[in-house]
Structure formats: structure tokens, C-alpha cells
Structure 1
Amino acid sequence: MRLLHFDYSRGLISTDFGRKSIPPYAILSHRWGDGEVLFEDLGSDTFKKKDGYRKIEFCAEQVAQDQLQYFWIDTCCIDKWNLRERSKAINSMFRWYRNAAKCYVFLSDVSVSTATEIPQRSTWEVSFRASEWFTRGWTLQELIAPVSVEFFSSEGRRIGDKISLEPLIREITGVPLKALRGHSLDEFTISERMEWARNRETTEEEDNIYCLLGILDVSMRTSYGEGKENALRRLQMEVEAAGGAPTIIPFSRNDHFVGRESQLAELEAKLLGDKQTTTLAIVGPGGVGKSQLALELAYKIRQKNKNYSVFWVDASDMDSLYQSYTSIAQKLDIPGWDDEKVDIMQLVKFHLSRKDARQCLLIFDNTEDITLESSGFSTARAANLIDYLPQSELCSIIFTTTNSDTAKSLASQNIVKLGEMAPDMAQRTLENYLNTPVLRSEQQEAKLLLQDLLYLPLAIVQAAAYINTRNVTLQMYRSQLVRRKKEALERDSALSKDKLQEYGIKSLIAITLLVSMDQIHRSDTLAADYLFLAACVDRKDIPLDFLEASSLREREDAIKVLSSYALIVRRPAESALDLHQLVHRALREWLRKQELLDQWTRNAITRLLRVFPDHDHGNRSKWRRLLPHAKYALSHSLVEQEIGNRSTLAWKYAITLYSDGRYNESEELFVQAMEMSQRVLGEEHPSTLTSMANLASTYRSQGRWKEAEELFMQVIETRKRVLGEEHLDTLTSMTNLASTYRNQGRWKEAEELEVQVIETRKRVLGEEHPDTLTSMNNLAFTFKLQGRKDDAILLMRQCSQLQKQILGPQHPYVISSVAILDQWQPENVDITV
């Protein structure tokens, strides 16, 4: 849990207590507005200019009056970019409110007169009754969970608390007095508790259900986009299974699922029959419904055996696998699951392999390769999937894949092949997805349309989405489809007859995409722009911050357009969206044929630069999620784009890889940047020297001392000649070279350089400048490594005292210096400065 407090100099400090004991704290309940201070804003003082800073100041003032130190605000105490942290926070929210010493409710739409010392009820009761705080879904748990709840006006004036206002709150909310007074919620039935939220509203319809998780004491993975009714069904399943086997099925059951009866029966027989098969694979081309078949199987298994755990795992890459395993560990509450240093995937593997483990089914979806690559979000690296598979007769595994070789490697001969749908099955699928029934007079048209769609489920879903959104007939849609297909074939007239059918299969999604894009382009150019941008980055977890608009409403409207055509899958909980791999591929191919791919790749790089943070470790959650998109855009851009935005993004990408300890990957990029800069800008250009210095630092971190030393020396000599001996960049290079010497045990050479840097920085910057103090700190460490303990303590003490005067006693640098001194200083020895 991350808590806030102000130090004596009014600096806002965020402290992550992790596995440490959590001190008493206050918590804020409020409605989100424009200009909220977010977690990522805390790295600079600019957040003080945002409207939401007033709430932080209000909280701090109340905390001081209540003789507390720490407080929690959801807007800036949760790192929304860290999916693991966000998931944990959503499931822990009720407990956090319940354990708070105080809960302050800030009512932004309730105003009181400042004319009297104590606000008169007549001045605030009407607006209090009408406050939207009482109408929101998430504030229900914030009212019920805490023992102490105090209400404040928009001016920060106290109106009353949950006890003094109890009759009024009971009248407004309909929540029973026992619940308001903190009685165990087990005294109320599930239906009674759900009734309390019946008339409450949420921004996302699914949140009407998710906001009940803490009140119902259940844990459920969120799946935004599934709709309120589907979320409710999953919640009911979790409530029913509260005493049964833990399960994670992140998607609702597909009400439109039809057919595949023979494959479904085959899978059930192999999993639950007398001769059980523990490892199976579903293989078939993209878009034929492999995941939907696995999803239907998951729900059937749960229906037949409540003691059978089912866990859904995204195996498309190492980062997704890591996230899925983390969710399983949390769901099972495996000891140590929340320890950042634990190998979470091995932890889950060994737990599920235990002889006393429950019978379970793992569904590894989108398993395209045994070797999974990491794009940088998790601490994991590329690895073999087999290394993380549980080994137990009680644990069955199903893989979905388009790759036959992967299927054979993982499941041997236990493979269920999925091809195109049968015509009658495709007809039922189309009818299930359409909002209006297919009339008898349209039956022939429906058959012809399905033939044109090659009975491919993904194409059928997109066609139905278009027909529903545009409210057109089957004939009208089919005429557009046929026209587009004819144009595509005419453009590729060189195709031989025997390749026409193969071409049709490969290009079908591109054709259905173009039909939808024609309309999107005419009705919403911003939505079309979002599609083109999404085509130029990685197809998964595309952050909404990447999609610019003049207002949040305009962006939301454009995303809703794309959702209505079934071209994207939304992830509001992560503020992100996904594209199906076939849609992503088709978009890129269309842009290439229109000679627009380079232009939109440049646009994507420009947008990425605007959201990509610096390499400070506090931003690691954000840049880890953006790394896959930066990597994708950079790998598909032209060489002539090296100088400019592309080179800047490449540098940011490289330096964050370096900060994450991925030295081999960062080295490759730094070499490219250095060579390009030398070629275009010249050997002595500042950018060239920066690239060389970065590469030298990478060598040093890899223990390649000789290469690091030679490159640092070259940079120092050039910077002295070009910038001067006292330039800050020159001094930084000297500091880096000193560090290289120190790491090799070359104490004398390190000391000489560090003394030189300290003297120059004192002369240029002053004795109290943070850079000067850092140099003193470095020299103290060199003394300590030489065995000169007294000299080290004297210098560190001097440095610590100056830091305390300048930064304040609570600053992290000061706390670190004091801790080091406590370790170094011998007992009962007084060394005065």
C-alpha cells in the first residue's frame, strides 16, 4: 500500500509500505473530476498547479488536525500503469477503507456559507441530499467499510459524520442502520447487499457489478467490455463458488456461441473421461474460434464440477504469461505471491504441481510459440514455456494455437483441429449476433453472404456488427462486400487461378475491415485515425493516453465507434485497448498499399514521444508498458527517419532498457545511435558524445571495464576540447570514469579524479549544490573501499549535514546517508568534523 505525507518543507512524499507494517492513515472518498493529480505526476512539482491538488492539501490539513501523518487518495496512490498493482488495489479497496483510521468524504457539489463558525443545516441539507456522491457505485463501499466517516463541503468545512448524520444518510441511501454502524455484512443476504447498489451509477456499466466485490466479499477479475449482464452472471458464479474451487475465467460466457459440438464433446471426453488426457491443443487458422471453443469448455467444466479450478492464461508473450500467473497466485493466496523478489511463475508452477493440490484446468490461450519473448513489462525475460508448466496428473492443460508445430511440441498427438464452420453452424452464428431476426425472404441472401465470408467466425462477427451499427439489410452489406472483393482481385489480377482461393482466405478480414472503414472514415475521422495509429504499434495493451483528442468525451466517442464495428476490444480497467491480430495485420497491409504506412509510423512515433516518460525508476511501470509499442514502431520505421523524433524515441527506449538492467539490448541501440550520430552530426557533436557516454556506461554495467574506460576517456578528451574542462558534461564523464576505476579496485586513480571533480564543482556550482554533495558521497565510498574508514565517515557526515540543511531531514537522500553512517560508524567512537 502506498501512502502520502508532507515533510516539514511541504514536500509531498509518497511511501510504498510493501510488506512493511502499515501505520495509521486517513483515506479520501471523493468523485473524480478534471485535473486530478495522478501517481505519475508526483515526480515533479507541476502537479501543484492541477485542480486536484486542492484535495491533497485538504487531506493533509485534516490529517494534521487528527494527529495522523499519512493519508491515501486513489487518484495518486495507485500506479495505474502497473497492472499487477492495479489488480491488487481493486481487490484490496474495501479492506483499505475498512482499516482506515479516518475516512474524509469531500463533497465537491455541496457548498456551505463561511459566515458562521459552525455550518447551519439549513444552508447545506438540500445540496447534501442531492449530492452525486450518494448516487455513485464505488462510494457505497466507502460509506459502509470505514468505522469513521466524516463529511466535508467543497470549501473543506466539516458538515458532520456517519453517526451524527445517520438518519439523513439512511433516508438518502436506503442502507440499513446496522450496516452503517459496522455490523458484519454476513448478517445481510447477498440479494439485500446487491439491492443497496441497484440505483447507483458508474461510468462503465460493468462497474455497477464490480463495485460490489468488497461488499459481497468475493474476488473476481474484471473484464470491461463484457457488459453489465455478463458481469452479473460471473459475479453470481463467484458467489456460488465461494466455498468451492478458486477459478479465473476473465471473459463472460459467449451467449452467441453455437456449433462445434463434436469438438466440444471430444475435449470433454478427454478431460473428464475414464482415460483422462492431461495435455491437449486446439489448433486452427486465425479467426476460426479457438478461444471461443476453449471458453465454452471452461464454463461447461465448471458447471459439471464446482471443485474443479479453471484458470485462463494469456500465453501470447512472456509479459502476458507473467500477469496471468500473478493473478492465479493472488487468487490462490499462495504464500509470498506479493513479494516483488519472488519468481511468481515458478511459485505458481510448484504450487499447482503439489500432490495435495486441487484438480484444475489451465487454458493457455494464443500459444503461438514455445519460446516466449518479453517486451519489458515484467521482470521476466524470454524463456521456454515448458519450463513453467505444472507437472501433475491433477492439472490438465489446453493450448490454443495457429501453429501446428507448436501444438505437436506441446500436446504430441492430443490435438483437436478446428477448421471453417459448417454452413448451418455459420448461419446460426450470424443469426445469434444480429440484433434483428433474419426473415424468411432473406434466407437465401444470408447463405450467399456466409459463402462470401468463407464461414469464418471473425468475419461473421464483424459483418453482423456493421449491419447492427448501420441498420442495413443483409443484401446491402453483401453488395458492399462483393464490390470490395472485386476491386481487390482486380488490383491483384496477376494472381493465377489456383491461388485465387488462397488469396480469398488470407484477404477476407482485410475486405470486411475495408467495408467498415469506408463508413468510419465518412462518419468519424478521429476513429479512423486511431485505427491507423494502432496499426503502427503493438496490437495489445494500447494505452488510451496514446490516442489524443481535444476532450476525453471526443476520445470516448471515437473508441465507442470502433467498438461498435467489433474492430477493437476495450480494456477500461487498464485504460487501454487491443486489436485482433488479423485486424492489425490487415490495417498495416492497407496502409502499405496506400503508401501511408511510413507517414502513420512517424505519427505513432511522435505520439509515443509525448507519453513516454524519462528513465527515472519511479516511472518504470509506465515505460515498461510502453516499451513494446516503442520497439514495434522503431523496428518498422525507415532508416532515413533516424534523426529527429525517431532517434529521440530510440534513445529513450535504450536508456529505459539500461535502467531495467537489460544491458545487451540497450548496447545494441546505443551502438546504432552512436554510429548514426557520427555519420550525420559528426564526431564531436554533443549528441554523438552523449551516445558514446551511454554506450560506455552499458559496458561498465556489464563489467567490460577496458572498453568502458577507453570510451569514457575518449568522451572526456573531446568534451574538454569542445566544451571546456569545467563544463558539467565534462565533469559527469570524469565521474563515470572514476566509477569505472573504483569498480576495478583502482582506488588511487578513482580518488584523484573524484577530488578533481569535487574541487571544480565547488568552484563552479558551490559547496551546497546537490551535484557537489553527490561527488563528496562518491569519494566517501572510495575511502571506505580503501579501508580508510575514519576519512569515509568524516566526509559522509559532512555530506549528510549539508544535505539535511538543504533538502530537509525526511528527504530520501538524507535518510539514505544517515543509514549508511549508522552502518559505517564504529560504536563509542566520536569523530567530529
Structure 2
Amino acid sequence: MINRGTPHFVGRDPQLEQLHREFQQTDQLVICAIAGMGGVGKTELALQYALNNQHNYPGGLCWFPVRGLDLGTQVVNFARSKLGLTIPDQLEFNQQVEYCWGHWPEGTALIVLDDVPSFSNDYKQRIQPYLPPAQSRFKVLVTSRQRPGASYRRIDLDVLSAEAALELLRKLVGKERIEKELTEAQALCEWLGYLPLGLELVGRYLDIHPNLTIPKVQKRLEKKKLAAKALLYQTEQGDITAQLGVAAAFELSWEDLKDCPEAQKLGCRLSLFAPAPFDWFLVEKCVIETEDEEEWEEEQEELEELRDSFLVNRNLLQLTEQQTYRLHQLIREFFLAKLAQLPEADSYKQSFCQTMVAVAQEIPDTPTLEIIASVNPAIPHLVETATVLTDWLRDEDLIWPLTGLGKFYYGQGIYDQAEVWWKQCLEITRSRLGHHHPVVATSRTNLGLIYHSMGQYQQAEHLNQQALELFKQRLGHHHPLVATSLHNLAALYCSMGSYEQAEHLNQQALELFKHRLGHHHPLVATGLNNLAGLYCSMGRYEQAEHLNQQALELFKQRLGHHHPLVATGLNNLAGLYCSMGRYEQAEHLNQQALELFKHRLGHHHPLVATGLNNLAALYQLMGRYDQAEPLNQQALELFKQRLGHHHPLVATSLNNLAFLYQSMERYDQAEPLLPQALEIAEQMLGSNHPNTVTYRKNLESLRDIKK
């Protein structure tokens, strides 16, 4: 987790001593922040402190990069992979992180949080909850551009002293060469603002050009300084001269590429990626246009040569341990400014957008864990496309980056994030394409799905109805998207308890799917599955069973036996058999569905909670109360965690748990649950919804028993 650090570390002994003093506190958790401008050496100071003081931390040193990454996830992953901890899956995420800290190796431990973007609400929500407990054995070292509040121990890191800057140049370039041009070297350090990053880059530049004089270097820097001022955009307070020094140092590296304009252009194209690691194959897709295999391989080799010999070799591009690439944030800003000057800038942005559109189009409605892992590195770059580069998206592609982001989060059950992206999608498509474009209808459809899943049925109904009318108006009554819209509206009405409306729409959608897509399309299976679920709710079990079996076989045939929709089909058929009293068949299918949900979607997906809930209900009917109770409790907690405390499925879970306690004659535990379930149902579903009526009757029955 800890790198070796630079061999040219100078001028920071007082700060190292101050850090050591700050961490001598033994009565409580100590958090110390190193604050300073970009390029001033915050990370290097933290690294050198950690390396020099390993003996003081028998509990270990752990380094977590924070910017753009989730701290809690990193802690859990580190504990699993490096500490060998087995973390109970049933714990909520916050509890999993607490479990990790609670089982950390004995002894004082140093935890470094590198590059915290800010100490505002984002810090309080994404970092603070996952910090170690308030125990004196944990020492937390934070690096950040932003100064934290007065409650933090803080070291404000300034640029190097004139003496230290000169010493750094001596180490980089050679003592004899610097002493020969000492006055000029001092002037160069001053011009660079004594900033470590600028000194490092210029020192390396001098080292690889042994015949270049220091006055010549400074002359080049001074010639470029006006351009340099325009190349750095700095929102935080800091030394203006130092910022100029960094930009000018980058300008030298750019000038060094003048004999290879293709390398310069590649650097500019890389600046279109978000300030996060990216896979190289995405660059290849952006840059290489030929479809001929042999030509493609030749261009691939040329691209690799530009990357390795010109960008990586000159420290303009970083290769990460994960074999991805990234630009330093300031270098990225430098290349962005250069990109704006290129006549090809618009075409480069369009190519980048088309590449990210292709990534978004590969994200399915229900992404599995494997797909999530594979697409996750591209998410920051999809965000960049969806927020910064929309002007360079073609009209026909406009919807895709935002739709892909929505699917990424919706498929994981992270509905609030999906809502953000799909609301933005609706706004952008309406703004550019007008209110009556079919893509706007698709945006409404997606947003309707979110609100349905969130239990906000009235909003979902309004959006679905608008989408359906717009599809009919613009595409005709027999288009597949009309069928999809009918299907979504039918599923919503089923959830709302409006079974007659749902049946009519379901049948329409199913017939249209068959007519336009063929009888064996996966959407036909989805239509069969939903109609079966409706018939089960209506007590028409024989019709439901036939449709369920058809849907399940079609899912297996078209999608494979391990697709999440197969798990949905198994789960629905199990629920039907449970209602029909065929408990043994139901149990087998329930268990299959639950394992498949966990395996493909992860243990914390809302569909896993549904599977747990259904299996618990089955065990209750079978009189296996001891098995039912923990499953009910797991389902309830998972529903609350992923859907919020006021979702209709939370009400269902509360009702089921109360009914279980009633069956076990644990009336005092059952009694507080039913009013909660009834209140949620009345608020979210209305007083006349079948579920609300059931919960009310259950509450009355329980009170009668207790009289």
C-alpha cells in the first residue's frame, strides 16, 4: 500500500518533526491534515513520514487515495484482501466498515487519506462516517488542497525555501553543473516559485538535456509565461507565481514534443477523460478509425509508441498499478487548454463522445456484478460526457450517456442516483429536441421506472401515461416502444392494486411484443412473467402457472440459466406455488432464485431482499418459524437500507414480520409493527389498496386477540 517515495526529498524536516509531535497525543483519535496548493508536495510529505516512522506503527500503515473513490469500500476491500477478515454479509455497509476497524491488527496504526477534495458536505457524507473509531491507537493523516476547519490539527505546507529548492536542483541535475551557474540557478528557482513539482519537472528536463544552459531554460520559460497564465485554472487560494511556475514547466514539456505533434495531439485527446484512471482500450476506440484488422494493429502499435516514448517517459502520463492510465490534474488542465487551440478539437470531442456512447449502450437494464465491475472504471468518463461534453453529442446519441448512468445505478438498486441522471436526461432531451420527440418519451419512461421502484406511484403513473401518448403520437400505435410503455404502465397498475386496468394493458403489450418482435423475444417472456404475477395476485392460479412456466423457459432459452431474469422467473413461480400450497416445490425454487440473485446482483440488492422476504413467508406457512424470523429481519433491514423507511415493500416486510410474531404468540413484538406498516401503506398506496386493506384487517385481528 505504501510506495518508496522520491530519493530527492529535501527541505521538509521541520514538517516531519511537527507531524511526529502531532501524533504523540494518546488520549483520543488524532486526525492531522497536510494542506497546501497542488504540486506543493503534500502526498510526498505524508509518504516520507510514513516510511520514516514505520517502527512506531505496529498496527500497520494503510494508504487510501480518496479523490473519486469510496473510502468505505476501500476499507472493506483492504480488510478482506490484506487482513484476511471474513466480514458478515448480513451487516449493513456502515457496520461492515465498523467491523473492519474493530478487527484491525493490534497496536498503533497510521491511516493516510490522500487527496481529500474538500471538507464540506461531501466529506461529511463520504469520508467522515468511515473513519476509524475514537481510539488513541488510530492516527489519521489527511492530505488536501483545502484547509480544514479549526477542529483539525493542521500543517500548512508552503513552497520550498530558496535553499531547499536549490538543493533539490543539485540532486536532480548534479552539484557541479548547478555550482557552475549558481546565480542563474537561484534565479530559475525564484522564477519557478520554489514549487516542488515545477522544480522536479525542470530539473528532469535539464538532466536529459546536458548541453542546455540554465539561462537558456529560463529564457524559454519567460517566453512562455503569458501563455502559461492562461493554462492553469485555480479555484483555491495559493501562490500565483508558483502556479505560473507549474504551467511554465508543463510548457517546457510540451515544447519538447514539438517534433512529434502526434504526441501533443494525443495528450490533448487524453485530457477529455475525467480526472480519473482510464483503460487504454477506450483511447484506442477514440483514436483508431480503420476497420481493417492489419491497419488497426499498425495504428495500435503507433499509438503505444506515442504513449510510452513521449508521454509516459516524460512524466506527462501516469501508468497506475492497476495498469490503467491517468493524467495529473494540472497536466490535464494544461492539455485541455492546448486542445482548445487545435482545429481538430471539435472532431476529437465528437470521437470521444461516440466512444463513451458505445460504452453506455453496453450497460444492460439489469447489470450483473461482473458487468458492474467491468464498466465501473468508465463511469467517471461517462459522467464527463454527460455533463461537460453534451454539445458534442449527436442528437441520436444524446440520451445514451445519461441513460447508461441511470441503468448502472438503477440495476444496482441505487435509485436515488439513477433518478438524478434520468431527471437530467429528461431536461436535456426536452431542451435540445423539443417536448414531443420520441427520445423525450423514452426519458419519461425511464424516470417512470425509477418512481415505480421507489414506491412513488402517482409520479410514475403521470410519466408513463405521458410517454405512452407521445410514443403513439410519434411512432404509431404498433411500435415496440408503445408495447414497452403499455407493459410498464400495466406493471405499475398491478403494484397499485388496479388489477383490471393492469390486465388489459398487459394483454395489449404482450400481443404487440409477439407481433412485432416474435414469440421468442425476451420481452415476450417479461410480458408473460408480469401477466402471470398479475393473475397470481388475482387468485387465478392455473392461468398464472402456465404463463410463469412459459416465461421461465423462454428466459432460460434466450438468456441462459444464470441470468437475473431467470431468477425473477423462479422467484415468481415460487410465490405462485406458495399461494397454491405446493410448499416443497416453492421452497426449492425460492432457494434457487435467492442464490442466483446474490450471485449475479450482490448480497445487498433489493431483489435479494425480495427473495429473503418470500422465503421467510413460505417458512412461516410451513410452520418453520425459527427459520422464517431471521430471513424476515434481514429482508426488512435490507429494504430499509436500499429503499428508505417509507417504501411499500418495507410495509410488506413489517406486516410479514408482525404476522410471524402473531403466529408465534409473541403479540407484544407484533403489535408495534402493524401500525407502522399500515401508516406507510395509507401514505404510499392509499386507503383502498389491497395491501392497505390487508394490513388494516391484520391489525384489527391482532387487537381482538389481545383483548
| TM-score, normalised relative to structure 2 | 0.70
1:467 is aligned with what amino acid? L
* Cα offset, 1:600, TM superposition: 5.1
Q: Which amino acid aligns with 1:398?
A: L
**1:585 counterpart = 2:333:** yes
> 1: distance between equivalents of 2:266 and 2:44?
27
Map Cα deviations across residues 555-595 of structure 1 (whole Å, 9 max, x no partner).
33222222222223211x43322222332333334545779
Specify which of 367, 392, 395 is matched with residue 138 of structure 2: 395
Whether the aligned pair in 2 keeps the contact of 1:712 and 1:736 (CA below 8 Å) is yes
Q: Which residue of 2 aligns with 1:513?
A: 250
Q: Cα distance, 1:325 vs. partner? A: 4.8
2:217 to 470, 477, 501: 477
How big is the shift at 1:451? 1.7
Partners of 1:274 and 1:674 lie apart in 2 by 54
1:753–1:625: structure 2 CA closer, same or farther, 3 Å change rule? same
Secondary structure class of the residue paired with 2:143: strand
Question: Which residue does 2:274 correspond to in 1?
Answer: 538
Q: In structure 1, what residue type is equivalent to 2:388?
A: H
Residue 408 of structure 1 aligns with which residue?
150
Alignment partner, residue 297 of structure 1: 49
Seen in structure 2, the aligned counterparts of structure 1 residues 805 and 263 have a Cα distance that, compared at 3 Å, is: closer
> Structure 2: how far apart are the matches of 1:808 and 1:651?
25
Q: What is the aligned-residue RMSD (CA, Å)?
A: 3.7
Which of 675, 682, 702 is matched with 2:454 structurally? 702
CA distance in 2, matches of 1:451, 1:766: 75
Deviation at 1:291, TM superposition (A): 0.9
Partner of 1:570: 319
1:368 is aligned, of 104, 117, 125, to 117
Say if 2:494 and 2:502, in contact at 8 Å, map to a contact too: yes
Deviation at 1:516, TM superposition (A): 0.9
Give, in angstroms, the shift of residue 479 of structure 1. Answer: 2.5
Structure 1 residues 435 and 749: CA distance shift in structure 2, 3 A: farther
Q: In 2, Cα distance between the equivalents of 1:665 and 1:348?
A: 22
Which SS does the other structure have where 2:273 is aligned?
Answer: coil
Q: Where does residue 383 of structure 1 map in the other structure?
A: 126
SS at match of 1:523: coil
- Cα shift readout 1:20-41 (whole Å, capped 9, x = no counterpart): xxxxxxxxxxxxxxxxxxxxxx
The residue type paired with residue 536 of structure 1 is L
Q: How far apart in 2 are the matches of 1:355 and 1:540?
A: 29
Task: Answer yes or no: is 1:634 the counterpart of 2:386.
Answer: yes
Letter aligned with residue 506 of structure 1:
Q
- Whole-Å Cα distance in 2 between the matches of residues 265 and 505 of structure 1? 25
Aligned residue for 1:24? Answer: none
Q: Which residue type is aligned with residue 431 of structure 1?
A: R
Q: Deviations over 1:755-809 (max 9, x none)?
A: 2333444455554443333211111111222343443223323444566677777
Q: How many Å separate the matches in 2 of 1:828 and 1:538?
A: 53
Contact 2:360–2:403 under 8 Å retained in 1: no
Q: Which residue of 2 aligns with 1:314?
A: 65
User: For 1:366, what is the secondary structure of its paired residue?
Assistant: strand
CA 1:558–1:397 in 2, change beyond 3 Å: closer, same or farther?
same
Partner-residue secondary structure (3-state), 1:758: helix
Matched residue type, 2:49: L
Cα offset, 1:663, TM superposition: 3.9
How big is each residue's C-alpha offset from its partner over 1:217-243, in whole Å with a ceiling of 9 and x where there is no partner?
xxxxxxxxxxxxxxxxxxxxxxxxxxx
Question: Using a 3 Å threshold, how does the CA distance of structure 1 residues 553 and 261 change in structure 2: closer, same or farther?
Answer: same
String of CA shifts for 1:330-361, please: whole Å, max 9, x gaps. Answer: 31222217x5x755665344443569843101
* Mapped contact 1:709–1:737 kept (Cα < 8 A): yes
Question: What is the CA-CA distance between 1:274 and the residue it aligns to?
Answer: 8.1
Distance in structure 1 (CA, Å) of the matches to 2:561 and 2:355: 40
Question: Shift of residue 397 of structure 1?
Answer: 1.1
Residues 109 and 139 in structure 2, CA contact (< 8 A), matched pair in contact too: yes
Structure 2 CA distance for partners of 1:415 and 1:717, relative to 1, 3 Å: closer
- Describe the SS at the equivalent of 2:177: coil
**Deviation digits for residues 636-678 of structure 1 (CA, Å, limit 9, x no counterpart):** 3365867355554344334434434444454454445445544
CA distance in 1, matches of 2:228, 2:551: 72
Which deviations, in whole Å up to 9, do the C-alpha atoms of 1:130-162 show, x marking residues without a partner?
A: xxxxxxxxxxxxxxxxxxxxxxxxxxxxxxxxx
Contact 2:29 2:138 in 1 (8 A): no
Instruction: Give the number of aligned pairs.
Output: 559
Residues in 2 aligned to 1:363 and 1:679: alpha-carbon distance in whole angstroms? 45
Change (3 A) 1:590 1:764: closer
| 1:276-316 Cα deviation digits (max 9, x unpaired) | 982222222221111111101111111x3472411112122
State the alpha-carbon separation in 2 of the partners of residues 582 and 749 from structure 1.
58
Deviation string for 1:514-534 (max 9, x for gaps)? 1111222x2333332232233
Q: Which of 354, 357, 363 does residue 615 from structure 1 map onto?
A: 363
1:115 aligned partner = none
Alignment-derived partner of residue 433 in structure 1: 172
Does residue 795 in structure 1 map to residue 547 in structure 2? yes
- Whole-angstrom distance in 1 between the partners of 2:489 and 2:117: 45
Could you say which residue in structure 2 is the equivalent of 1:424?
163
| Aligned position for 1:80 | none
- The aligned counterpart of 1:504 is 241
Q: Distance in 1 between matches of 2:35 and 2:535?
A: 64
Residue 352 of structure 2 aligns with an amino acid whose one-letter code is A
Q: Does residue 1:559 correspond to 2:312, yes or no?
A: no
Q: Tell me the distance in 2 between the aligned counterparts of 1:810 and 1:599.
A: 42
Give the alignment's TM-score, normalised by structure 1: 0.60
d(CA) in 1 for partners of 2:583, 2:111:
60
Q: Give the secondary structure class of the aligned counterpart of 1:332.
A: coil
Residues 506, 531 of structure 2: 8 Å contact kept:
yes
SS at structure 1 position matched to 2:142: strand
**Deviations 1:719-744 (CA, angstroms, capped at 9, x unpaired):** 33443333221111100000111111
Q: Deviations over 1:158-198 (max 9, x none)?
A: xxxxxxxxxxxxxxxxxxxxxxxxxxxxxxxxxxxxxxxxx
Alpha-carbon contact 2:271-2:332 (below 8 Å) kept: yes
Query: Conserved in 2, the CA contact under 8 Å of 1:329 and 1:348?
Result: no
Change (3 A) 1:541 1:736: same
In structure 1, how many angstroms separate the alpha carbons of the residues matched to 2:275 and 2:420? 24
Q: Is the 8 A contact 2:510 2:527 kept in 1?
A: yes
Identify unmatched segments of 5+ residues in structure 1: 1-247, 375-380, 493-500
Task: Rate the CA distance shift 1:557–1:324 in 2: closer, same or farther, 3 A.
Answer: farther
Aligned identity (percent) is: 23
Letter in 2 for 1:547: V
Relative distance call for 1:736 and 1:271 in structure 2 (3 A) is same
Does the CA-based 8 Å contact 2:59-2:104 persist in structure 1?
no
Summarize the Cα distance change of 1:701–1:808 in structure 2 as closer, same or farther, 3 Å threshold: closer
Whole-angstrom distance in 2 between the partners of 1:399 and 1:828: 56
Q: What is the match of residue 704 of structure 2?
A: none
Contact 2:354 2:393 in 1 (8 A): no
Contact persistence 1:369–1:403 (CA under 8 A): yes
Q: Distance in 2 between matches of 1:719 and 1:741?
A: 19
Does the Cα contact within 8 Å between 2:108 and 2:137 map onto a contact in 1? yes
CA distance in 1, matches of 2:583, 2:27: 74
Q: 1:577 to 1:809 in 2, by over 3 A?
A: closer
CA contact under 8 A between 1:538 and 1:632: conserved in structure 2? Answer: yes
Partner of 2:265: 529
- In the alignment, structure 1 residue 326 sits paired with structure 2 residue 68: no
Structure with greater helix percent: 2
Equivalences for 1:52-63 in 2 at 5 Å? none
Residue number in structure 2 paired with 1:45: none
* Cα deviation 1:42-68 (Å, max 9, x = unaligned): xxxxxxxxxxxxxxxxxxxxxxxxxxx
Residues of 2 paired with 1:359 and 1:741: CA distance?
A: 58
